[in-house]
């Protein structure tokens, strides 16, 4: 996609400024690990631990800790629209935000057989080819505003191989499209969107909480060989969030 770097820089800056402004009237706790930091206002540590555990959605079965691994590989991304679409800058800004805040990169797909997230940005009038593809995936009219689904799995492991995200994107809906793409991409990557702070003024905190959950999910999947049971994984998640809170508190007073 043309103009990728320029779109990323400008739109990511705009999102960053919005997040900063949304949170400027509240003192936020910082959760830090190395160069990665997440600021969450108004929730005590215990509530954040509960929210992260809930967001990561640990499986309820007893088939082993490997169940919490969802993707066969870190997915790349592509746009599925058959022709031109509105919202290229919005999508690239969301990808840039995720790449800046997480310890892995979601990059454009270079091959057809890669694990991938495919995005459809639909306007008020939907291209007939795009409509046929979305109809085939059983997306109903209301779902076209903002939704996602898994579309393929590895036949040997059952891990996600492909997923599709659809969002309504028009010239007047940039903020709504940004929120939709960020929320659904987080869910595709393996965390449920937080409902801890449902009011509009807490949008930035919801984003931070879910970015923190994605970070913790990644860290836990790197450590899975150390654990035998899901209970041990749950305790480690709580401990990791507490460690990050302590590190963030220390960085604030230094």
Task: Check residue 221 and give its pLDDT.
Answer: 93
The answer to whether residue 42 scores a pLDDT higher than 90 is no
Residue 148 lies in a domain: no
- Residue 14: which domain range? 1-63+190-254
Measured distance between the N- and C-terminal CA atoms of the chain, rounded to whole angstroms:
43
3-class DSSP assignment, residue 9: helix
The overall pTM is greater than 0.75: yes
Chain-centroid distance of CA 12 in Å reads: 15
- Cα gap 54→50, rounded to integer Å: 6
Contact 41, 27 (CB under 8 A): yes
Give pLDDT tens digits for 80-90. 999 989 999 99
What are the tens digits of pLDDT across the range 96-154? 999 999 999 999 999 888 999 999 999 988 899 998 888 888 777 767 889 999 999 99
Assess if residue 241 is contained within a domain.
Answer: yes
Eight-class DSSP state of 173: -
Do the domain assignments include residue 100?
no
DSSP code at position 229:
S
Q: How many domains does the chain have?
A: 1
The answer to whether residue 31 is domain-embedded is yes
Q: Quick one: 136 exposed, middle or buried, by C-beta within 10 A (0-12, 13-18, 19+)?
A: exposed
Interior/surface letters 98-107, b for 16+ CB within 10 angstroms, e for the rest: beebbeeebe
Average pLDDT, the chain: 84
**Cα–Cα distance, 217 to 220 (Å, whole number):** 5
Could you tell me if residue 239 is inside a domain? yes
Q: Is residue 17 part of a domain?
A: yes
Quick check: is 214 in a domain? yes
Cβ 204 vs Cβ 22: under 8 Å: yes
The rounded distance, in Å, linking the Cα atoms of 81 and 157 is: 29
| 185 inside domain | no
> Average pLDDT for residues 161-167, to the nearest whole number?
95
Helix, coil or strand: residue 189: helix
């Amino acid at each position: 996609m043309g103009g990728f770097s320029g779109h990323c820089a400008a739109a990511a800056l705009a999102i960053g400024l919005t997040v900063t402004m949304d949170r400027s009237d509240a003192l936020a706790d910082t959760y830090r690990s190395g160069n990665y930091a997440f600021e969450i206002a108004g929730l005590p540590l215990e509530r954040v631990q509960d929210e992260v555990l809930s967001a990561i959605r640990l499986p309820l079965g007893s088939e082993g800790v490997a169940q919490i691994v969802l993707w066969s590989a870190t997915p790349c991304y592509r746009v599925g629209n058959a022709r031109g679409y509105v919202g290229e800058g919005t999508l690239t800004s969301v990808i840039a935000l995720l790449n800046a805040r997480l310890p892995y990169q979601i990059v454009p797909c270079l091959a057809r057989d890669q694990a991938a997230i495919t995005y459809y940005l639909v306007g008020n009038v939907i291209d007939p080819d795009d409509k046929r593809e979305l109809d085939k995936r059983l997306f109903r009219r209301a779902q076209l505003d903002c939704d996602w689904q898994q579309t393929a799995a590895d036949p040997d492991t059952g891990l996600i191989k492909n997923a599709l995200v659809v969002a309504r994107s028009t010239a007047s809906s940039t903020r709504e499209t940004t929120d939709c793409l960020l929320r659904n991409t987080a869910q595709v990557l393996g965390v449920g969107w937080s409902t801890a702070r449902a009011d509009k003024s807490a949008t930035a905190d919801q984003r931070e909480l879910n970015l923190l959950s994605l970070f913790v999910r990644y860290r836990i999947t790197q450590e899975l060989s150390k654990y035998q049971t899901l209970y041990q994984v749950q305790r480690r998640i709580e401990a990791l969030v507490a460690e990050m809170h302590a590190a963030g508190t220390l960085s604030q007073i230094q």
